[in-house]
Chains A and B, each alone.
Chain A
């Protein structure tokens, strides 16, 4: 984490300064919206006083009623103006935060780009950004309401000092105390929300694993568990409800109690005609707004607290970012097309010397949560090589690939490309130098073609080549709309093998020099896999680095790296590793045992 974190107010200030003119215009308009209700109060006072002939303005009752309507219409215009500025302003704030977060995340070592699950990170994009938007928008209401309260108290003091002091001060006090108590509410609310999360979680789990439950005949046990959780939620919700309705009723009834106090204090003055019925109406009318302000003030404070939690969460999401990163003033280009120079979209051209060798020395990576990982990984990869990494489950094969490609932050070791040190693998290992297909590739809910291109311009020849090499050519005519088929979330409309081959095509179309695959075998049958390797061989590429324990791949390899418990147990040709490594013999042996060999 950063030594110097920005405070919430600093971050908010920085956000406010992102669109200063818009913010100022917004502030002026909303001050108007909040100040307008002063006028109906005065009009109503004059109305009652005009009936008794005590009015200070020389307007009759009917023109006052008409003026009430005029004020309402003027306020409505004001609100529409404020709506326009506020919506645009909020949109910019939220968009900037989201833009900055996404941009930063996409620059990180990709396998560890976010410190939590993507589902949780979406909350930061959705709720925490909105929270920051809210907080900034509320500063406007805050300014408006302070102005209103000040003006209202000033007017009321001129009407009757005694009632103003004795009624409003205690009310402000009571509401402030209640506000403090409402902190308690937050803890009840949190408990209640947890309990709700447990119930929905349980329902989700139950129906996500329904086969397992039915097979085990565990239906009743799960229902029993659900009812227990349901009951816990009820208890928590009731506690929350009781407390919050107590608080609510303090707020909603404070106006009534305040009115009662005005009656009590004003009784004598009213008899002496020092306090008119109009004055009384004015007091009651403003009372509602002033109590509203005090409760708003409390909510504003708790919004600020929540906002600081939100900022903290967003900062955590941007692990390792500077304090400024989140609120950095970046252009959003909302009125223009996306500027080409920012991220050029064309086929990557290779301008460097062709690939000759990759050398990895002493590479290590340890996952902080499980303490597992890889250590002391060294190997060489020459042009033309077909290198296979093999090993049993959890031996570190995938971690090895990810560490080399900068998809995990580099913790130990060095990588040399064509003899020179790679300083930042994160930005170095991209096409046209290398491309990668992971074990369970992520496809996006776009068309098949978009998934392959991912921003590259359409190019029939390259498309066809890539699809052919990936052995996807037979599948495409079978799909409903061919290449334009929308493949659904995570590519659900494709079979596992099709998804993996789509990912492979995505890699081939970039024509990288170093092709990196993580275990294709789980979704491809032997024939298809064989065909794929044959076709890869015919494409222009410099070297292959793959994870596999399939014979088809191992027999093709000129170099095999056998992983065990995060270390390289042996490396060399197939014959070498078979003679040197017991682990390799184990892995290999089973592949040979077939039904006939008994």
Chain B
């Protein structure tokens, strides 16, 4: 049995510090509740023994009965208030933890985020922390309370008869052991069943999304056949898992009946030797029954607590993960206005040292205010170059200077505020249009949003929305056409005042007519700023002053566009001549 109390305490200590008063109150209420629960059977014993004795007044009995009811009600009060306070403490502490964990993670580098899906992050930040809050409520209320209750009952049993106490202690230990093992024996069936159901609903989800593909290719039969196959496989798995569940129920019935029978047998023996009163027999019977509930619960609680172990480890690991992007203690400031860009012998590889280099010895300078057209096949390292500029990653060898400052010497926040990047990868989220554009920055007035949207030709679209800027967008921008989503991503760039703009195949999803339409807007955006335009279409880079062509991570050629276009030996010239008017294949 490995219950990770110490790690848990280390993790939550900070968050529970402010709640100490409540924690003390909680313990008092818990103990009070247990005492009340143990007291009530004693009242009944007194009642029975008195009732059977001649000459006791009816008022005495009535008094005991009323006391019993009062104790029951007090117990209720204690349990409700301790539940509420416990929940309050748990939520306050874990909310803080959740917030801090999210804050820690969102500042981590792209190497971290590339590995994690958002579903996984939900599981880490909400799922695991919830597990901890269950741990808290389970541990404090259930496990501690149940253990105290069991101990209390056993102590009181010893007081009645030491042999009875000893017998009950053995019974408790064996019960916990048996129930624990039965659970363990059947756990694999549960795992298998939940895996089978997860696969089944995964199948259903996939095919509900793919109805178009299924129908148009006449493949409904394939889907129904697979569905049937999954159903047939699931029936025996379901049966086994269900029998596992029932076995646990059945084993509690058996064990508790056994305990009850043995207790009654022993009581009958004590009665026959006239060493026990009828009231005491009833007391023992009640205490035996009272044991059932906590014993049954302890079994599942131990399981839950062990599960929390994994969560605690994962949460601590997350906190221990550090961004590989180191911030300088005294960052330098980047200059105002258009920024020059200089790559000095930059090499880079994702992953470890010996991984294949994505960029090799890149070396070029871009003067402030100039526009660089960056060309190359898919996988030649164009997007990587952009990611290095915004410091999603740090260069392996070499250095990048912006406005004469090494980007590692500037603060990340300032660096990114001076660069605007529009990429192919459009990230819209489930929030209002306004929040999607401003990213919760309340200082951007609505007028500015209207202005930008109309510049991008989105005013008609905006008018078609039922609630204007307050309209909620669906997650991932579904409901928008791919082109509209891309224009919204553009709009974000328009709202900032950067010194460098990176357009990473930003218009790949726009049709030529729409692209022409936003030309003017882009002109305005680029005016007085340095820009890097990554493109696979030659048409897109017609505004470039300089051209950089990458091939397999190396510079193939770099120079002013006019000069390269006129040089019959240049790759650019060749590309223009072969009429590869669309894509740089």
Residue pairs across A and B with Cβ atoms less than 8 A apart, 28 shown, are A61-B271, A68-B260, A88-B235, A98-B227, A102-B224, A102-B227, A109-B215, A203-B102, A203-B122, A205-B118, A208-B475, A211-B427, A212-B492, A216-B439, A216-B496, A221-B439, A234-B92, A238-B87, A238-B88, A242-B80, A253-B76, A393-B510, A445-B206, A510-B217, A522-B508, A591-B512, A594-B538, A595-B539
A252 / chain B contacts, CB cutoff of 8 Å = 76, 79
- Are A230 and B98 neighbours in the complex by a CB distance under 8 Å? yes
Question: Could you tell me which residues of chain B, from 208 to 236, have a CB within 8 Å of some CB in chain A?
Answer: 208-225, 227-229, 231-232, 234-235
Q: Say whether A455 faces chain B, with CB atoms less than 8 Å apart.
A: yes
**Pick the contact of B65 from A79, A267, A332, A596 — CB < 8 Å?**
A267
Whether, in the assembled complex, B582 has its beta carbon less than 8 Å from a beta carbon of chain A, the answer is yes
Chain A residue at minimum C-beta to C-beta distance from B240: A87
The 7 closest A-B pairs by CB, nearest first: A343-B221, A455-B222, A590-B512, A442-B210, A72-B257, A260-B69, A61-B268
6 other A-B residue contacts (CB within 8 Å) besides A75-B253, A333-B228, A592-B581: A76-B254, A80-B243, A225-B440, A393-B511, A454-B217, A528-B585
Distance between B234 CB and nearest chain A CB, rounded to angstroms: 8
* Residues 433-449 (chain A) with a chain B CB within 8 angstroms: 434-436, 438, 441-445
Stretch among B295-303, B327-335, B353-361, B478-486 lining the A interface: B478-486
Interface locus among A2-10, A46-54, A373-381:
A46-54
Inter-chain contacts of A455 with B (CB < 8 A)? 219, 221-222, 225
The main secondary structure of chain A at its interface with chain B is helix
Set of chain B residues within 8 Å of A443, measured between Cβ atoms:
210, 213
Query: In the complex, are the beta carbons of B213 and A52 less than 8 A apart?
Result: no
Contact call A257/B542, Cβ cutoff below 8 A: no
Asked if B176 is an interface residue, CB under 8 A from chain A, the answer is no
Q: Residues of A contacting B390 with CB < 8 Å?
A: 215
A118–B203 alpha-carbon span in the complex (Å): 11
List B contacts of A490 (CB < 8 A).
Answer: 206, 209
Interface 0/1 of B456-472, CB less than 8 Å to A: 00000000100000000
Which residue in chain A gives the minimum CB-CB distance to B263?
A65
Are A595's CB and B51's CB within 8 A?
no
Which of B65, B197, B262, B565 has its CB near the most chain A CB atoms (within 10 A)? B65
Interface 0/1 of B254-280, CB less than 8 Å to A? 100110111011011001000000100
Complex alpha-carbon distance, A253 and B212, angstroms: 57
With the chains together, A455 CA to B119 CA distance in Å? 32
Q: Which residues of A contact B271 (CB under 8 A)?
A: 51, 61
- B425–A211 CB distance below 8 A: yes
- Determine the distance from Cα of A221 to Cα of B444 in the docked complex, in whole angstroms: 13
In the complex, whether A583 has a CB less than 8 A from a CB of chain B is: yes
Q: With contacts A218-B439, A238-B84 known, is A267 near B58, CB below 8 A?
A: yes
CA distance A444 to B205 in the complex (A): 10
Q: Within the assembled complex, what's the spacing in Å between the Cα atoms of A79 and B242?
A: 12
Of A219, A503, A522, A595, which contacts B103 at CB under 8 A? A219
Residue in contact with A489 in the complex, picked from B72, B206, B223, B483, CB distance below 8 Å: B206
Distance between B511 CB and nearest chain A CB, rounded to angstroms: 4
Which residues in chain A, 279-320, are within 8 Å of chain B measured between CB atoms? 280-281
Contacts of B91 in A (CB 8 A): 233-234, 237-238
- B126, B202, B416, B585: the one contacting A217 at CB < 8 Å is B416
Say yes or no: is B83 at the interface (Cβ < 8 Å to chain A): yes
Given A203-B122, A205-B475, A281-B282, check contact A343 B254 (CB 8 Å). Answer: no
Q: For A151, what are the chain B residues with a Cβ–Cβ distance below 8 Å?
A: none
Contact call A259/B68, Cβ cutoff below 8 A = yes
Are B204 and A260 interface neighbours, CB within 8 A? no
Check if A353 is an interface residue, CB within 8 A of chain B.
no
In chain A between 13 and 71, which residues have their CB closer than 8 angstroms to a CB of chain B? 40, 44, 47-48, 51-52, 60-62, 64-66, 68-69, 71
Docked Cα-Cα span, A522 to B424, in Å, equals: 12
Measured in the bound complex, the distance between the Cα atoms of B72 and A298 in whole Å is 23
Contact indicator B204/A122 (Cβ below 8 Å)? yes
**C-beta contact mask, B90-107 vs A, less than 8 Å → 1, else 0?**
011001001100110111
Within the complex, the shortest CB–CB distance from A205 to chain B, in Å, comes to 4
Q: By the criterion CB–CB under 8 Å, are A107 and B220 in contact?
A: yes
Q: Which residues of B contact A203 (CB under 8 A)?
A: 102, 118, 121-122, 125-126
Interface stretch of the complex, out of B3-11, B19-27, B144-152, B513-521: B513-521
Contact of B87 among A237, A256, A429 (CB under 8 A): A237
Q: Are B224 and A241 in contact (CB under 8 A)?
A: no
Interface string of B539-556 (1 = CB under 8 A from A): 101101000000000000
Pair B211/A205 contact, Cβ less than 8 Å: no
- Dominant SS at the B interface? helix
Q: Which residues of A contact B510 (CB under 8 A)?
A: 393
Compute how far the CA of A210 lies from the CA of B91 in the bound complex, rounded to whole angstroms. Answer: 26
- Encode contact with A along B356-377: 1 for CB under 8 Å, 0 otherwise: 0000000000000000010000
Q: In the complex, what distance in Å separates the CA atom of A212 from the CA atom of B429?
A: 10
Residue A186 CB within 8 A of the other chain: no
Q: Is A213 an interface residue (CB 8 A)?
A: yes
Chain A residues closer than 8 Å to B119, beta-carbon distance: 204
Q: From B461, which residue of chain A is reached at the shortest CB distance?
A: A394
**Does B395 lie at the interface of the complex (its beta carbon under 8 Å from any beta carbon of A)?**
no
The answer to whether A65 touches B285 (Cβ under 8 A) is no
Report whether B72 and A393 are in contact in the complex, using a CB–CB cutoff of 8 Å: no
Interface 1/0s, chain A 69-90, versus B by CB < 8 A?
1011101100110011011100
Q: Mark each residue of chain A from 252 to 280: 1 if its CB lies under 8 Å from any CB of chain B, else 0.
A: 11001101110110011011000001001
Most chain B beta-carbon contacts within 10 A, residue among A210, A231, A241, A510: A210
Asked whether, in the complex, the Cβ of B75 is within 8 Å of the Cβ of A256, the reply is yes
Q: Is the CB of A392 within 8 A of B511?
A: yes
CA distance A245 to B72 in the complex (A): 16
Chain B residues with CB under 8 Å of A442's CB are 206, 209-210, 212-213
Answer yes or no: B250 CB below 8 A from chain A CBs: yes
- Interface status of B509 (Cβ within 8 A of chain A): yes
Complex CA distance for A591 and B201, rounded to whole angstroms = 45
Contacts of B215 in A (CB 8 A): 106, 109-110, 113, 407, 426, 430
Query: Do B278 and A52 touch (CB < 8 A)?
Result: yes
Tell me if A525 counts as interface (CB < 8 A to partner B).
yes
Q: Does A507 contact B (CB under 8 A)?
A: yes
Q: Are B253 and A72 in contact, with the CB atoms below 8 A?
A: yes
A344 lies within 8 A of B126 (CB):
no
Q: Are A88's CB and B118's CB within 8 A?
A: no
Q: A271-B58, A393-B510 are in contact. Are A526 and B585 (CB under 8 A)?
A: yes
Q: A257-B69, A510-B217 are contacts. A208–B209 as well, Cβ < 8 Å?
A: no
Q: Mark A518-554, 1 if CB is under 8 A from B, else 0.
A: 0000100111100000000000000000000111000
Complex contact A454–B219 (CB within 8 A): yes
B583 CB-CB contact with A under 8 Å: yes
A6 to B497, CA, bound (A): 61
In chain A, positions 81-139 with a C-beta closer than 8 Å to chain B are 83-84, 86-88, 91, 95, 98-99, 102-103, 105-111, 113-114, 117-119, 121-122, 125-126
- Contact (Cβ within 8 A) B76 A214: no
Min CB distance A227 to B, Å, is 5
Q: How far is the CB of B269 from chain A (nearest CB, A)?
A: 9
Give complex CA distance A573, B534 in Å: 35
Count chain A CB atoms within 10 A of each CB in B47, B58, B69, B441 and give the residue with the most.
B69
B293 → chain A closest CB, angstroms: 9
CA distance A114 to B512 in the complex (A): 33
Could you say which residues of chain B place their CB within 8 Å of the CB of A470?
none
Among B80, B282, B427, point to the contact of A209 (Cβ < 8 A). Answer: B427
**Is A526 a contact of B439 with CB atoms below 8 Å?**
no
Closest CB in chain B relative to A467 CB, distance in Å: 16
Is A213 a contact of B106 with CB atoms below 8 Å? Answer: yes
Residue A226 at the chain B interface, CB threshold 8 Å? yes
* A83 x B242 contact (CB < 8 A): yes
CB-contact partner of B265 in A62, A431, A592, under 8 A: A62
Complex Cα gap A252–B250 (Å) = 23
Question: Which residue of chain B has its CB nearest to the CB of A36?
Answer: B253
Q: Does A355 contact B (CB under 8 A)?
A: no
Given the contacts A62-B268, A87-B239, A204-B121, A445 and B202 also touching, CB distance less than 8 Å: yes
